[in-house]
Amino acid sequence: MKAAVLNEGANRLQIEQVPDPAVGPGDVRVRVRACGVCGSDVHATVHPVIPIKTRPRIMGHESAGVIESIGSGVTRVKVGQRVVIGAGTSCGECARCLAGRDNACEKVGVLGFDRDGAFAELITIPERYVHALPDEIPFDQGAILADAVSTPYHALKYTGRLEAGETLAVVGCGGLGVHAILLGRALGAGRVVAVDVEDGALQHAANFGADDVIDARRTKNIGKTLREVTGGVDVIADFSGFYPGLSTCLRALNPRGRAVMVGIGRSKLEVGMPPLMIYRQLCICGSYGCERNAVPELIQLVLAGKLDLSKSITSHHPLEEVNQCLEDLHHRKGNPVRFVIQP
């Protein structure tokens, strides 16, 4: 089969012919029909800040396709079925995995980083990673459910416990953040405010349904501006990874407000307000990936007409153009949300 491979010492993917992946007991082999290009793919290649320990590695973690063959013991899915492939990897044996909380597994990883991914014609994965994709949802939209949509969904619904009528602030409006705006609407947020420093991201935030858009370059104190605009925020979801900015945002939280950290940064998070946190019962928490129930729940939101992903797909590309997509995403050429590879 044809695959995009990250080799030792490289920061570009090489298109190669590699053996078709074997199918073992409990495995399914999927012919990939769509695979999204994510910012984390950029950070492992053209802007290498995320290490990939084992190389060569076939990358790609947001994917959907059709089951081509199944191993012994597979019972949930069948050959010819359309599926979304979950982006996370896990041991599959610990108590958390058995309860469907794979993202809390001690051996949690990411497809395309910790095992071979879906920038390829075929991928073989354990049955538990796949979710039935109804005919009504296109492969490209199904593919991005695996991470671009499911990660902010878990952050808002399960980590941040966003309730209907509450005010949501989304900080960082890239590929995950803009979907957090859509999801805030789908989950019933009364008001959604977006914060970013790039014109393109702010434009996307408005197009994806934010009530208010704040250009962080034009304010010295984001938290103060947030409070002036909203009167107080119930949930802050940070996808930027810029922790000094998040620290100032905390003062905009209402009593019992929640700040959810999703973006991974390298600066320090300094919180110089412990008494205020205690008196106002504020919560700061991290959120990573999603539990196994996320993709099926998102599929139901799409089918119910509560989640429209038609604006999410920027363009479609053959596997041979994956490196150009990575470069264009890194440089924000054309202001993309999601490029989709069709191997």
Long-range Cβ pairs for the range 240-244 (8 Å, 24+): 240/171, 240/172, 240/177, 240/196, 240/265, 241/172, 241/265, 241/266, 241/267, 242/171, 242/172, 242/267, 243/267, 243/268, 243/269, 243/270, 244/268, 244/270
Indicate the helix (H) or strand (E) that contains 14: strand 13-17
pLDDT tens digit sequence for 232-278: 999 999 999 887 777 788 889 999 999 999 998 777 777 777 788 89
pLDDT in tens, 277-332: 899 999 999 999 999 999 999 999 999 999 999 999 999 999 999 999 999 999 99
Q: Quick one: average pLDDT of 98-116?
A: 96
Query: 202 pLDDT exceeds 80?
Result: yes
pLDDT at site 58: 98
* Per-residue model confidence as pLDDT tens digits over 65-92: 999 999 999 999 999 999 999 999 999 9
pLDDT at position 68: 98
Residue 40 has pLDDT above 90, yes or no: yes
On average, the pLDDT of the chain sits at 96
Q: Is there a contact between 224 and 126 (Cβ–Cβ < 8 Å)?
A: no
Sorting pLDDT into bands at 50, 70 and 90, what band is 334? very high
Which positions ≥6 away from 188 have C-beta within 8 Å?
A: 163, 164, 165
Decide which of 3.40.50.170, 3.30.460.80, 1.10.3980.10, 3.90.180.10 is the CATH code for 2-149+290-341.
3.90.180.10
pLDDT score at 54: 94
Instruction: Supply the pLDDT for residue 153.
Output: 99
The residue ranges of every structural domain in the chain are 2-149+290-341, 161-286
Name the one residue in this structure whose structure tokens are 């469907």: 100
Helical pair 199-207 and 175-186, crossing angle rounded to 10 deg: 20
Domain 161-286 belongs to what topology?
Rossmann fold (3.40.50)
The closest of 129, 133, 132 to 115, measured between CA atoms, is 129
- The pLDDT score that the predictor gives to residue 214 is 96
Q: How confident is the model at residue 56 (pLDDT cuts 50, 70, 90)?
A: very high
Compute the Cα dihedral for 181, 260, 239, 245 and give only its sign: positive
* Overall average pLDDT of the 23-43 stretch: 98
Interval 228-240: pLDDT, tens: 999 999 999 999 9
Which range has the worst mean pLDDT, 25-29, 104-108, 201-205, 274-278?
Answer: 274-278
- What pLDDT score does 244 carry? 76
Residue 260: which of 234, 226, 231, 297 has the closest Cα? 234
Residues in Cβ contact with 98 at an 8 Å cutoff, skipping those fewer than 6 apart: none
What local confidence, expressed as pLDDT, does residue 267 receive?
73
Over range 190-212, report the average pLDDT. 97
176-188 pLDDT per residue, tens? 999 999 999 999 9
Q: Can you give the pLDDT at residue 242? A: 80
